[in-house]
A and B are shown apart, each in its own frame.
Chain A
Amino acid sequence: MTTHRKKQRYIYRTQGVCPPEIHFQVDQGYLSEIRFVGGGCPGNAQLVTRLLEGRHLEEVLQLVNGIDCRNGTSCPDQLASAIQAITDGRLSPATSFLLVEDHTPKARMGLIGELAGNPQILKKMVRAMSESGVETVVCLGNLTGESMQNRQTLKSMRKLDIQAIQGQNDWNYAMGTESPPYPPLDQKARDWLIQLPQVLSFLVGPKKCIAFFGDFIQKLPGYSDYEPFALEMNMVCGLTDFMRDETVFPALEAMTPQFHADVVLFSQTRKWGYWHVGGKDFISIGPAADPDGLSWGLLESVHDDARFEVMRIN
């Protein structure tokens, strides 16, 4: 089952307290999933979170407004400020990356890298994957490119029911910010691209995997370092420069216990790569076509582990 976020999610930048941000959701006036992130007293924060879960905003405001801890405010008082800011129209829902979560475990997944607007390659790939017993196909972005067949590629994606995530080119098209030599694209195709997830979470056997394209996500308005899977992206894109700087792997290893995901997939560098660091798997998905031919990635569950292999098509 695939679920899209439906509730409105807010990120409030605090003042005068230890946690720099409060994240929470509001569903028809009721508060949920409150998280005081980045600092403070974890025990107290958890208590506040549990006590306020599912309560109406007005009720919460009465309970927490004016509580003092330091600097004339407190974590609960900052939550009151956040609620007040929503009421006054000063705080809008967060517009960060779009995360889609697929909770149904898969045994064999096919992964496609940059297609760059080539529907013929897509069809060949899907045929090869089908022959290999792949259940689900995911394309990791840059479905579009400097191609006159972008529209046809997107049409094939829809027809073949392939799950895709946005790449940098797709985001540019969705926003209407592409420039030559990228050819124009009709509005319907752009509208389809804009609704694509930017981060996809799925299960391969018991292993939780996330797939994203690259560092354009970190530059999206409202991106927060404390969102689910932001740590994984910050470590891949920032700390290790897409796993190219192996000298910082000791630091990466120190951070992996805080990961939500077991397997992290990305495709920005247009190179195939596999690393196992700190008990986590990192996989770079190369382009669908390169001078050596066509390639796709097979990710499968073997004895409850995730196993990855690059598959070539001659």
Chain B
Amino acid sequence: MAESVKVLPEEIQGIIEVHEWDMRTREGVQRFKELKAKSLPSVALDGKLVYEALIPMQEDLIAEIRLRHQQKNRDSLNVS
């Protein structure tokens, strides 16, 4: 799963921060449960589970990331 994130275009890599949890570890299991995930692999964006038991198409993943990025920018403009 991390591979599909690593190959994202540079412009996308620049706006995201990637964390990978190892399911073999107690820490990874803890995070998996916090996200209320059920299957592997799972991808969460901004702490919300978005993909479960599938590796998304690159364009779908980019669209989801952009959507959240734009939403955040809009929110921060509204605040200022």
Contact = CB atoms under 8 A, between A and B. Distances in A.
B40 A255 contact: yes
Chain B CB within 10 A, most for which of A38, A218, A230, A238: A238
B53 interface: yes
A250 interface: yes
A231 B38 contact: no
Interface residues of B, number: 15
Contacts of B24: 38, 225-226, 230-231, 234, 255, 258
Nearest to A223: B26
B30 A250 contact: no
B22 A38 contact: yes
A251 interface: yes
Most buried by A among B22, B26, B37: B26
Interface in B13-35: 22-26, 29-30, 32-33
B30 A251 contact: no
A247 interface: yes
A293 B22 CA distance: 43
A254 B26 contact: no
A218 B26 contact: yes
B39 interface: yes
Mostly helix, strand, loop or mixed at chain A's interface? helix
Nearest to B36: A247
Contact of B25 (A225, A248, A251): A225
A248 B23 contact: no
B20 to A, nearest CB: 9
Given A247-B38, A250-B53, A251-B40, A234 B32 contact: no
A17 interface: no
Contacts, number: 48
A250 B29 contact: no
Contacts of B29: 234-235, 238-239
B39 A234 contact: no
Nearest to B40: A254
B26 A251 contact: no
B37 A251 contact: yes
A116 to B, nearest CB: 29
Interface string A220-258: 000001100011001100110000000110110011001
Contacts of A238: 26, 29-30, 33
A238 B25 CA distance: 9
A310 B25 CA distance: 32
Contact of A250 (B22, B23, B39): B39
A178 B32 CA distance: 34
A229 B39 CA distance: 22
Interface in A239-281: 239, 247-248, 250-251, 254-255, 258
B6 to A, nearest CB: 13
A255 B22 CA distance: 11
Closest 3 CB pairs of A and B: A254-B40, A250-B39, A238-B29
Interface of B: 22-26, 29-30, 32-33, 37-41, 53
15 contacts: A38-B22, A225-B22, A234-B24, A238-B29, A238-B33, A239-B23, A239-B32, A248-B33, A248-B37, A251-B23, A251-B38, A251-B39, A254-B40, A254-B41, A258-B24
Interface of A: 38-39, 218, 225-226, 230-231, 234-235, 238-239, 247-248, 250-251, 254-255, 258
Given A238-B29, A239-B33, A248-B33, 6 more contacts: A225-B25, A234-B25, A238-B33, A248-B38, A251-B23, A251-B38
